[in-house]
Every structure is written in structure tokens, then in C-alpha cells.
Structure 1
Amino acid sequence: MTAEPPDSAKLSDRVRWQAFGVSVAVAALTILDLSKVNVGLPSIENSLNAGPTELQTIVAGYALAFGLTLVPAGRLGDIHSRRTLFLVGLSAFTITSLLCALAPTAPLLIVGRFLQGVAAGIQMPQVLGLIQQLFQGAERGRAFGLFGAIIGLSTAFGPTIGGLLIAVGGDQDGWRLLFWMNVPLGIALLYFAARLLPRKQVKSKSTDLDPVGILLLGVVVLTLMLPFLLTTGGPEDDPRRWFFLVGTAVFATGFILWERSYTARGKTPVVRFALFRLSSYRNGLLIATVYFAAIPGTFLLTTLYLQQGLELAPVFAGMVTIPFALASAVTAWIGGRLVETRGRSLVVVGLAVVIVGFALSILAATLPPPELSPWLMSAALAVAGLGGGFVISPNQTLTLAEIPITDGGVAGSMAQVGQRVGTAVGVAAVSSTFFATIYAEGSATDKITVYHDAFRSGSLVALGLIVIALLLGFFDLRQRAKGSAKQDA
């Protein structure tokens, strides 16, 4: 563990927790825009005459720009000022939300969403860097526990908030409220951030920005995410999109070679590969990537099934995930307090409970009468939420526990990149399986049977991803046990 930075030591507990509150509120606002817009797509389609490709790009553009911006923004925050980058990102997020709210056409909304994703990618790494800067030891675990609880609430409440806003604004223009809500909230948070965020930080000794490395990494992320973001499961999917993955392999090789050469010249690369020698960081990042490949896809699948299959209104479809949010918020807070003593075993138990909850959700969606399914799915998701709270925040704490504070921004950024890539891959795999089943069965059977089969197929993909995360958790436990045995010897 690294020593507590002098600037954090001088701040009172009240000021540090207030700064944390501002930071995590901005993170919640950022994450909300990953989930709440999904339920607004039918409204956008009606209002702007947007086609399937445009609707897909409205969602994908935000996620793609988010992923591309994370690492360079994290590096800039580490070597210059997290506070400044935070304010820049939040200002840009507020302005671009206004642009999205006023967009008169689908292409302009796509541009606005891409720019909004860039702004989100600027501000999110600063949140993680600031948490590491402000807290140490057990207190950091509690902070990440709260962070995980609020992020979990944001992810799960996103569809509900989106559905409520559309109900208020109407099917034609209700989607604009999804973006309008960010404007007053962004302005208020800017005021508090300018007052409360620490002005000093322990900066990285090196000020090398490594623009070539940043460009190469950006192309790697772009070519890796793009084919998944363009996958819908429909007959219009172009199989040539998978050729982007060839570019991923080529540019990833170039990135590794360049970073090694850059390091050999005594300069600081954009990604310090030495961080990946830390098993806590490497294994935690893998677990988070796979977990985030499953969770957003599951929420999207649940929303699609309830709205299209059971014909629930958006607001009611969104409410089904509320028990997951509430349960995960409680256990995330508890997990933040237990992680110092229970470690990775807490994450493993959480993943096992999530698997049970998701399995129950599949049964609840497909076996009982349709009028009972939403209630039973909600109960099953509450079980999954109890486990989910023991995954996100404890895993975040364990992942960053051994990272030097001077590398907090870029280390957190790489973890976020993993989550965004995982989300792109998972959503594509789950949703394309869902829609491919619907296209394959067509009108051969009754509608509810088709949607039962589609939900089951997509959910099994998500369940498989959680099982992989569980196996990674067991692997990490085994590595830690071996490390402890060597130290005792």
C-alpha cells in the first residue's frame, strides 16, 4: 500500500466526504446515460424517424467514445490536474446533453451522443483517481463500497427513470427529457465541484503523454468494440464487420511493441505493463470485464422482453429491476466494510449468488403465466442484486489496492476500458442471441412462446459469462493462497 498523500491528509473528513459525494454523483450521471437511453429508443424512432442502424448508433456512439477517451484522460489527470479534467469533462457533458436534447434529426443526435461519450470519458477516470487520492486503507474500502452501491443503483434505476421521463414527456418527445435532466444537474454539480474538489495532488513524476501510444490504443479499442456495437442479431448485420478484429490484433501488437520501445528510452508509456504483474490488478480487471459483459446485457434483455414480449409500458418494465438496485446497494455498502477482512472470497460468494438469481429469473420469465412473470422476475433479480453488491465495489477495491496513487487515474481508466469493452461484447452477444431467436422462429409459434425462447437463449449467454467470472474469482483465490503459503514458508 502507498502512503497517504499530503494534500489528502490536510483535508478534514467532512471535506473529503463532500468531495467524494460530488465525484460519485457525476459518475452516477455518467452511468445513467448508458442505461436510461435504451428505453427511449422507441420514442426517438417515432420522433426523428430513425431507422434500426441509427438507433443502434445512438446507443453505440456514446459507449464507443466513452471507451476511446478513458485512458488519455486518465493519464492527463495523473500528470496535470484531476480537478481541472473533472471540471472540463463535466462542463462538456452538460453542454453536449443540451445538444442531444435539442437535436432536430437523428444524425445530429448521433453526433451529440458521440461528443457526450467523449465528455463522459474525460470525467470518469478523474472520479476513480480522486477516490484513491482522498482515501486509504479500510476507509478506501468503505468509499468504494458507497461508490459501488451508487453505480449499481444508477445502472438498475436507469430504465425506470427513462420510462418515467417518457411517460411525462409523451411518446413523441419524451426522449428529450432524458437529456434535459442532465443540464440542471450538471450545472449544480459544477458549482459544488469547483468549491469542494482538492486543488492539489501528488502528480506523476513523468509528464510524458505518449501520443503515439494513445493513438494506437485508441485504434485497438475502436476496432475491438466496433464489430460488437454493430451486431444486432438481425438479417441486416454485415458479416464483414468481424474483419475489424484483424485490425485489433495488428494494432495491439504494434501498441505493445511501441510501449516497450518507449519505456526502453526512459520515458513513461501510456500504460505501464508493470501494473499487470500485480495479480490483484490483473485478475480484478478480468473479473470486472466479464461481469460487466453480463449485467448491462441482462438489464437490456429484461427490458426488451417485458416491453416487446409482455407489452409492459416502459416505466413498468424499468421498475422490475428496482429490487436488484436496492439489494445491491445494501450489500455493496456491507461489502465495502468487509473487503479488508474477507478479500476475494467475498467476490466469489457474490458471483455465486448472482448466478442463482439469474437462473431463477429465467424460470420466472418462462414458466408462470405472463401476468405473474414481472413480479417473480423482480424477486429473482433481488436475489441477484444481493450477490451483485458483493462483486462490484469489493472487486474495485481489490483491483486498485496495490496501485500507486500517481497511477490511479490511468489504472482506473484501464479498468473502465475493460468494463466498456465487456459491455459492448456482452450486449452484442446477449441481444443478438435474443433477436436471432425471434427472427429464426418468426410466426411459427405463438408470440409468447417465441419471446420465452428468445429470453431464455439470451439469458443463458449472460449466465455463462457470470460463470466465467466465478471461475476467474476461484483462480484468483488460488493464486492468493499460493502467495500466502510462500510468504509463510
Structure 2
Amino acid sequence: MNAGQSGRPDEEPAEGADTRSGEATGRVTADYEPHPRRWKALSVCLTVGFMALLDVSIVNVALPSIEKGLGASESALSWIVSGYALTFGLVLVPAGRLGDAFGRRTAFLVGLVFFTVASAACGLAQGAAWLVIARLSQGMAGGLLNPQISGMIQQLFRGAERGKAFGLLGMTIGVSTAVGPLAGGLLIQAFGADEGWRWVFFVNLPIGAGAFLLALWLVPPACAEKVSEGRTSLDPVGIALLGAGVLAVLLPLVEAQQWKGQGKWLLAAGGVVLLVVFTFWERHYTRKGREPLVDLSLFNRRSYTLGTVLALLYFAGFTTLFFIFTLYLQQGLGYVALQAGLTLTPFALGSALSAGLGGRIVTRVGRPLVAMGLVLVFLGLCGALLTVRWVPEGHVGWVLAAPLLVAGVGSGLVISPNQTLTLHEVPVARGGTAGGMLQTGQRIGSAAGIASVGAVFFAHVAETHDWSGALQAALLTALAFVLGALVVAVADVYTSRRVRS
């Protein structure tokens, strides 16, 4: 029985699962020799992953500083935030394929250099257009880096160690997103409102340079080799169809507040059509005996399909929290960037505390652990909703600490265990592509969540000028996404038990 059926990756694989070398199930087999530097290599990968994902959220609190320093328009500010997420999501799957085909170490190093140079260009920007272009480039580099990290975890670890490694990766994802506002606030506080935003990007330079040297030394040469033979075609038609489809779906979502009218959603519908055409093309390409961009048989594994859907729904509710809380605290309550960041810090602390634990026990508990985490997130957000509703505005920032801590603990039990369960049965040769698809779902979920939750938030503010009421309405929308993810997790647990019985 596979992990998707049982919810536990330590049980027997389903009929038809690939178990020839233990790659599909992540088990320790006789031909597996753990590399002595695997944990040191992981620490370098996680440092780089933290840096790339931090830039998703750290810029939010720097927007007033950027507006003041560069005279950026509202449209430019939107592209500085959303453009990064857009290009990040666009290149994830092709980047995973590049790593699978030509070596993840090489793709990782190229992406790291690209990201560091783009960060320098952001910090040196002399105008809004310059900064937007640099951010688009930085997002592409981040999208190139991240699939290599999950792919190298697949390649370097087996068994319970893989769960621990993915637990650390999940902790990195959760903490980097949550700590971004605090890090941005500290930098702006230290370097001033006029030029402090530049150090939001310059801080990446010493990290990137140091990580590059450490990666040359610590990442094993085996990660520089392609992970399967005969993969000579990059499926350019598949890349074009997937890229155009994801772009058409994401663009109206990330520009939902700037593009007025309903016509923009026709572009999203066209993107869905392109993605359907992409699936037909991939099947056709496979029947011709070629290596497709995405092995659609991955979605025959229930663990992978349900995990990807769950991640999409959860990130739609999870990522948007920092967006709406930052707006509420800074624009509604008049907090400075540092105060807003400190208010959100308990979520980051809770996530850090629980993610490592989740990675260690997920192989024993399985999908029920994810469901438990989603319940905690739901309860924590309900507590935040009641706090904003009933606590006087002068004390909201302090009282929010408790419910955000609970939600953070729950988030740590969702992200890393779900990543472990989702990629558990994926063969090593498909690790980069599968990780890229999973993260593409997360980016689409994030964009959809920010678009829908943000639309509710801004509509309420425009109509009533009540920031507290706007946050409450937005939190209810975010709770709906979290509840959807919980339904997926509970349905998986329930179905698994029926199958076992």
C-alpha cells in the first residue's frame, strides 16, 4: 500500500509502484551509500533556499521606503512584489528538468550566481523600472534554485533521514516566509527609511558569495551528474505550453488590484486551456518514446496528487496572512515596519519549533500529522479573528502573539510533512521536476490567495474605511482556503483507513 493510500511512507508500496532501487519509496537499500558530507551540503542548500524564499515576503514592509526613495508608482510597487513571484513560478518546472537532465549541482551554482548578481542590481537601482526588471531577474534565479534543493534531498537521503531533511526544508520555507517582515523592518530601522530598502537586497550579497564557495566544497560531485541516462531533449514545445499557461493563469491573479474590470479573467481561462493542451502534448510526446517535460504518471500516485492539491490550497491561505496583516498593522494601526515585523514573529517561531519535529515523526504518523497541523492553523486564525474583533486597537499587536504562535506551530506540521509525503514515492530521476511542479502549485496558490483575499480586504476598506473589519473579512476568506486543505487531508486519511480495512 503506498503512502498516498495509507498516509504513512513506511508501509508497503502499492501494486505497480517503482521499487527497483528504493528510489520510489525512499527506503534504505543495499546499493545506497550515504555521502559523508550530505548534511553539510544540505545546510548550504537550506541557506540558499532561505535567502531566495525570504525575498518573497521581505519586500512587503520595504514598499513605503521604496516609494519614498525612488518615487515609485503604485503599479511599479505592485510589480516589485508580484513580478518576483510571477517569474519564480514560471521557471520552476523547466528548472527542475534542467537539473534532472544536466546535474543539479551545476544548475544550483548557476542559479546562485544569477540570484546574487540580480540582488546587487536591485540594491543599486536608480529608478522604478530598473528595480522592476532586476526583481523579475531575481525571481527567475530563485525559481532556478529551488527545484535543485528538493532534487538533491531526494538524491542524497533515504529512509527516515529523507523525512528529517524535508522537515528542515519545510521549516526553512515556513520561517523564511514568516520572518521576512521582521527582517525587512530591522534593516529599514537600521539604515533609514530613505535608503534602508536597498539593504533588503544587499544583504543577499555576502550570503550568496559565501554559499557559492561552500557549495563548491560541500555539495558532492555526484549531484553534478545527470540522474538518468538518455535525457537529451528538453521538450521545448512542452516548456512553451507550460510557461504560457502558467503565465496566463498567474498574471491576472498577481495584477488583480491593478487591472480593473472582469476581462482579465479571460486570460486566466485561456491559461487553463493552454495547460490542458500541455497535458495532451506531454502524453503524445511520451507515446513517441521521448522524455517529456513532466512525467504525468507522477499524478497516478495518490500521495503526489493529493499533496500537490493540499499545498496549493494551504499556500493560498497561508502566504496571504503576512500580506493582509502587514497592511492592517502599518496602514490601519500606524505601526512602523519593525513593529509590524515583530507582531508577526510568533508565527515564525512556532513554525520553526514544530517543522523539525514534523519532519522527524512524519514517517511514523503520516497524513494525520498534516491534518492535525491544519486544525491548529485553523484554530489559531480563528483566535486572531476574535482578537481583532474584540481587543482594543492599542493592544491588538500584543494579544495577537498567542493565536499567531498556535497557527505557526500548526504550519510547521503542515509544510514539511506534506512535502515529505508528496515526494516520498517520486523516483530520484524525477525529483527536480516533481519538486518544481509542487512549488508551482504553491506559487499559484499564493497568487490566487493574495488576489482573492486582497480583493476582499481592499473592497471592504474602500467601502467602509474600517481596517479592522477589512482584516476580519479577509481572514474569513483565508480560513476558507485552510479549511479546503483540511478537507483534502481528512478525506485522504478516511479513504486510507477504508482501503486498509
TM-score by length of 2: 0.92
Residues 304-349 of structure 1: CA distance to partner in whole angstroms, max 9, x if unpaired?
A: 1111111111101011111111111111111111111110000001
Which residue in the other structure is 1:360 paired with?
383
Task: Give the conservation status (yes or no) of the 8 Å contact 1:213–1:259.
Answer: yes
Which residue in the other structure is 2:227 paired with?
203
* Structure 2 CA distance for partners of 1:162 and 1:483, relative to 1, 3 Å: same
State whether structure 2 residue 486 is matched by structure 1 residue 470. yes
Which residue in the other structure is 2:207 paired with?
185
Which residue in the other structure is 2:393 paired with?
370
State whether structure 2 residue 367 is matched by structure 1 residue 344. yes
State whether structure 2 residue 310 is matched by structure 1 residue 287. yes
Q: Secondary structure at the match of 1:459?
A: helix
The residue type equivalent to 2:336 in the other structure is A
Task: Give the conservation status (yes or no) of the 8 Å contact 2:187–2:197.
Answer: yes
- Measure, in 2, the Cα distance between the counterparts of 1:6 and 1:86: 29
Q: Which of 178, 183, 188 matches 1:161?
A: 183
Deviation at 1:240, TM superposition (A): 2.0
State whether structure 2 residue 328 is matched by structure 1 residue 305. yes
Which residue in the other structure is 2:290 paired with?
267
The residue type equivalent to 2:55 in the other structure is D
The residue type equivalent to 2:61 in the other structure is V
State whether structure 2 residue 476 is matched by structure 1 residue 481. no
| RMSD between aligned residues | 1.5
Task: Give the conservation status (yes or no) of the 8 Å contact 1:8–1:135.
Answer: no
The residue type equivalent to 2:306 in the other structure is N
State whether structure 2 residue 126 is matched by structure 1 residue 99. no
Task: Give the conservation status (yes or no) of the 8 Å contact 1:66–1:119.
Answer: yes
Q: Which of 58, 82, 87 matches 1:60?
A: 82
Question: 1:105-254 maps to which residues of 2 (within 5 A)?
Answer: 105-201=127-223, 203-207=227-231, 208-232=233-257, 237-254=260-277
State whether structure 2 residue 65 is matched by structure 1 residue 40. no
Q: Secondary structure at the match of 1:25?
A: helix
TM-score by length of 1: 0.94
Q: Percent identity?
A: 45
Task: Give the conservation status (yes or no) of the 8 Å contact 1:8–1:134.
Answer: no
- Measure, in 2, the Cα distance between the counterparts of 1:484 and 1:197: 41
The residue type equivalent to 1:21 in the other structure is S
Task: Give the conservation status (yes or no) of the 8 Å contact 1:365–1:374.
Answer: no
The residue type equivalent to 2:260 in the other structure is D
Deviation at 1:150, TM superposition (A): 2.3
Task: Give the conservation status (yes or no) of the 8 Å contact 2:238–2:281.
Answer: yes
Deviation at 1:296, TM superposition (A): 1.3
* Structure 1: gaps (5+ residues): 443-449
State whether structure 2 residue 47 is matched by structure 1 residue 25. yes
Which residue in the other structure is 1:9 paired with?
33
State whether structure 2 residue 448 is matched by structure 1 residue 432. no
Q: Which of 442, 449, 474 matches 1:458?
A: 474
- Measure, in 2, the Cα distance between the counterparts of 1:364 and 1:204: 53
Deviation at 1:354, TM superposition (A): 0.5
Which residue in the other structure is 2:300 paired with?
277
* Structure 2 CA distance for partners of 1:215 and 1:338, relative to 1, 3 Å: same
State whether structure 2 residue 410 is matched by structure 1 residue 387. yes
* Greater RCO, 1 or 2 (C-alpha within 8 Å, sep 6+): 2
Deviation at 1:238, TM superposition (A): 3.8
Deviation at 1:6, TM superposition (A): 9.6
Q: Secondary structure at the match of 2:126?
A: coil
Deviation at 1:386, TM superposition (A): 1.5
- Measure, in 2, the Cα distance between the counterparts of 1:146 and 1:21: 9
The residue type equivalent to 1:199 in the other structure is P
- Measure, in 1, the Cα distance between the counterparts of 2:230 and 2:429: 10
Q: Secondary structure at the match of 1:171?
A: coil
- Measure, in 2, the Cα distance between the counterparts of 1:324 and 1:253: 38
Task: Give the conservation status (yes or no) of the 8 Å contact 2:330–2:336.
Answer: yes
* Structure 2 CA distance for partners of 1:323 and 1:98, relative to 1, 3 Å: same
- Measure, in 1, the Cα distance between the counterparts of 2:471 and 2:31: 51
Deviation at 1:5, TM superposition (A): 8.9
Deviation at 1:249, TM superposition (A): 2.6
- Measure, in 2, the Cα distance between the counterparts of 1:364 and 1:150: 28
Deviation at 1:372, TM superposition (A): 1.1
Aligned length: 474
* More divergent stretch after superposition (202-211 vs 358-367): 202-211
Residues 409-460 of structure 1: CA distance to partner in whole angstroms, max 9, x if unpaired?
A: 0000000000011111001111121111111124xxxxxxx01110001111
- Measure, in 2, the Cα distance between the counterparts of 1:69 and 1:471: 30
Deviation at 1:10, TM superposition (A): 5.1
